[in-house]
Structure formats: structure tokens, C-alpha cells
Amino acid sequence: MIKPVWIRHASQLATLAGGSEEPVVGDRMNELTIIEDGSIWLEAGVIQRVGTDEELEQAYGHRAHEAQIIDAAGKLVTPGLVDPHTHLVHAGSRQNEFNMRLNGATYMEIMNNGGGIHSTTAATREASHEELFAQSKRRLDQFLLHGVTTVEAKSGYGLTLADEIKQLEVAKQLHESHPMDIISTFMGAHAVPREYREDPEAFVELVTQEMIPEVARRKLAEFNDVFCERGVFTPEQSKRILEAGARHGLLPKIHADEIEPYEGAELAAAIGAVSADHLLRASDRGIQLMAEAGVIAVLLPGTAFFLMAESANGRKMIDAGVAVAISTDCNPGSSPTVSLPLIMNLGCLKMGMTPAEVLTAATINAAHAIRRAHEIGSLEAGKKADVTIFDVPDFMTLQYRYGINHVDTVVKNGAIVVAGGSLV
Ligand SMILES: N=CN[C@@H](CCC(=O)O)C(=O)O
Ligand SMILES: [Zn+2]
């Protein structure tokens, strides 16, 4: 049994309380519900109490000798960050394509010539379960070091039933063996593999008739995602794929309007997707429809940055009443990073969001985007004891001193897993 953890004297304890029922929208994204000289008692993997240090001294002072006490004076305490969109499990690396893009090639040109997603698919098919596990575990450790305690992870670099299952089984084993919680998404419709180039409909058939039923039967995923993009899957194919998933209990997500406007936001609203992700080129009408349908926008400004494209208009989406979450999109092609705090900074500088809004987007709204807001994303009694402590005095400074990893301590399920900026 691990000892209780008592975090005391935080200069700011950003609780993000009050947003567990519905995603946080509009002006409320700026309300972090901050406690100064904040204190939090974690026990049995659960947050027991949150308040001022004086309040907790009264409640728990007599048990201080039992606890591991962390002095957070001068520091910012937040919920463990949540990353709701990653391609965590993959093999290989694409630095050669980075160089090609710097020399003028586009992301889609590289993919259409057999690189891009196809190149990672080849490497992932080639890798054994053990190799995939080892490479992905390294990334998970790095996520933890950047203050992230839960990640969503997509398949989509297998593109055969066996290789998709291999990716999802690696994610499952990581979830079971690593402190990080991993929420799995099936993304067999990430690309039409080269061997189906002449007959994409046959691949859609394979995804809907064979892959989705089998993944659902084995309970290897909760969500179903599709890359709805010109030259990949059409809106009509995407709709069929997402509806097939829904029939098998997989909740729909969609990579929408990333490279070109393609009515992905409109489709997300029409089918009631949990989230629409990317949205760099989403139309005003699509944004409005998403707000009305309650579809969460998962924005990925690191991808726009890395592809040298204009970011999604986060400001416009928030002002239109869309609930916005934010994510690294960690993948080997368009966003090879695990630094969610850096992505939050890009949210401020490139998407017009405030430091408070990006913190809401990376905690409680990100938790909603993976349907976990009842247990993570805010510091409230009864939720999982997932807490990140940054060595900055306030949430503004976290964004202001950018590109530095400020994480000091991470507590996951009530256990200290990062201390002094290093894995324990
Ligand atoms: N755009 C589609 N999928 C990923 C990139 C995958 C890759 O390039 O390997 C994304 O979300 O950015
Ligand atoms: Zn993605």
C-alpha cells in the first residue's frame, strides 16, 4: 500500500473544478478555479480533499506523519495533463521526409509517392510486438516527464487486421504495465494501403466488415477514427466507416479538414462525433454546426507548426461556443513531439487562446474528448490522484517561459512517478 501524498503550499493550485458534467465552453474556459496556498491530500489512488493549506492542516494535520509531504511553495499544481490524440504506437522515424519538406515537398506529395503514413506502416508491420512495445514505452516515459498522465493512442499503421491488432495489443500491454493510462482508438482507416491503391472501396469493405467487428469483439478500442481528407477517405466513405464503428459500440472521432476544406467538421456534427480533430481548414458553417452538436474540437497546433501551415482558428471556435481541447498529435510524420506544454504555448501564440484556455483544453476538455471527465481532468475529491507540479509560480509563467520543461513532480494514481524532473 503506498503512503498518502500531501502536496502543500502551492502558490497556485489550478483545480479546473466544476466542468466534469459537460465540456467547458466560452468564457468559462478562462475559469481555472485557483486556490492560493493550495493543498491536496491523495490516498488510495484517489483525491481525498482539495483546499487551502489551512483547511487541510485542520483535516489532516494529525496524519502528517503518515504521508509523503511535497512542499509546492512557489510552484503551480495542476491536474495531470491529458493528451487526447496521439499515434503513440509506431515504429521507425521520418527525419528524411522532414528534410524533403524543408526542400519544398508537401506532406501529401510524400504520402502519394509511398512515403508518409505508408513508410511508417511498413516499419510498423516489420516490427515485432516487443520492438513496438519498447519504442512506444520510451515515448510514454517522455510523456510522463512532460506532465502528461493519460494519453489516447490510435492504431492505423498496420492497415491489415493482424497488424492493427498488433498495435492495439501493444497499447493494451502498455496500459497494463506502465503508470500512464492509455485509451485506445481503432484507426484502420488512416490511409488506403498501397496494395489497395487500385481498389480503395475494397479496403473500406475490409475495415467495415472485418476489422471493426474483430477489434470490437476483442474489446481493443473504445473509439473509431478516420482520416477524412481529399486523396485519403471521402466524407461519404468516412461516414460509412464511422457508422460501422458505432454499430459495434466504437465512438466516432474524425481527422477533419486538415490539409484542405473537405466538410469534415460538417460530417462530425451530422454523425454526432465525440470529437473532430485538426480543423485547420474547417469552414465557418462547420464550426457553427459543431458548436450546436456539441462536438469537441481537438486542436493540434504542433502539427500546423511542423507542416508550416496556418493553425486552426482556436479563438474563433471558442467564440462560436465550441469546446476546445488540445493535443500533441504525437506521430512520426507531422508532429514528432511529446511536449504538451509546448503545444499549449503554440495554442496561445498561433491560435489566439489565452494561457487559461489552453490549460482547460489540456485537462478537463481533453478528458471529455476521451470520455474520461468523470475521473480525470480536474482536481476534485473522488477523482484519480493524477497531479502535475510545475516549477513556475503561476499558469501564465508556464506559457511565458516557453520551450522549457518545467515539470518538477508527477503523481499518477497516487504514486510519485516523476520527482525533481526525473522518472522515479
Ligand atoms: N493526418 C493524419 N494522421 C496523422 C499523421 C500521420 C503520419 O504522418 O504518420 C496526423 O494526425 O497528423
Ligand atoms: Zn492524428
What is the predicted pLDDT for the residue at 99?
97
The DSSP-derived string for 200-242 is HHHHHHHIIIIIHHHHHHTT--SEEEEEE-TTSB-HHHHHHHH
- Residue 255, annotated ligand binder? yes
3-state secondary structure 7-21: EEEECEEECCCCCCC
What is the predicted pLDDT for the residue at 150?
99
How close is the Cα of 170 to the center of ligand 2, in Å?
Answer: 18
Q: CA-CA distance, 156 to 191, in Å (whole number)?
A: 8
Which of 329, 330, 335, 343 is the pocket-test mutation for ligand 1 (most atoms within 8 Å of CB)? Answer: 329
393: CB partners within 8 A, 6+ apart: 11, 12, 74, 75, 76
How close is the Cα of 86 to the center of ligand 2, in Å?
Answer: 6
- Residue 258, annotated ligand binder? yes
How close is the Cα of 352 to the center of ligand 2, in Å?
Answer: 22
User: Under DSSP, is residue 35 helix (H, G, I), strand (E, B) or coil?
Assistant: strand
Please name every residue paired with 69 in a beta bridge, in sequence order, or none if there are none: 6
Output the ligand 1 site: residues, CB below 6 A.
87, 116-117, 120, 227, 255, 258, 303, 329, 331-334
How close is the Cα of 333 to the center of ligand 1, in Å?
Answer: 6
CATH of domain 81-370: 3.20.20.140
Q: Report yes or no: 270 and 292 within 8 Å, Cβ to Cβ.
A: no
- Residue 87, annotated ligand binder? yes
Instruction: Please state whether beta strands 34-35 and 324-326 pair in parallel, antiparallel, or not at all (unpaired).
Output: unpaired
Nearest to 255 by CA among 287, 285, 271, 279: 279
What is the predicted pLDDT for the residue at 1?
80
Nearest ligand by distance to the CA of 231:
1
- The alpha-helical segments, DSSP class H, found in 46-112 are 53-60, 95-102, 107-112
Q: Look at ligand 1, atom 12, and give the residue with the nearest C-alpha.
A: 334
For residues 40-52, one letter each, b for 16 or more C-beta atoms within 10 angstroms of the residue's C-beta and e for the rest, the string is: bbbbeeebbbbbb
CA atoms within 13 A on the CB side of 85: 34
Mean pLDDT of successive 10-residue stretches along the chain, which has 424 residues: 96 98 98 98 98 98 98 99 99 97 97 97 98 98 98 98 98 98 98 97 98 98 98 98 98 98 98 98 98 98 98 98 98 98 98 98 99 98 98 98 98 98 98
| Intervals of CATH 3.20.20.140 along the chain | 81-370
For cell 489497395, the residue is 196
310: CB partners within 8 A, 6+ apart: 280, 304
CATH class of 5-80+377-423: mainly beta
- Residue 39, annotated ligand binder? no
Q: Which amino acid is at 83?
A: D
How close is the Cα of 118 to the center of ligand 2, in Å?
Answer: 14
Nearest to 117 by CA among 221, 210, 227: 227
Nearest ligand by distance to the CA of 305:
1
| Intervals of CATH 2.30.40.10 along the chain | 5-80+377-423
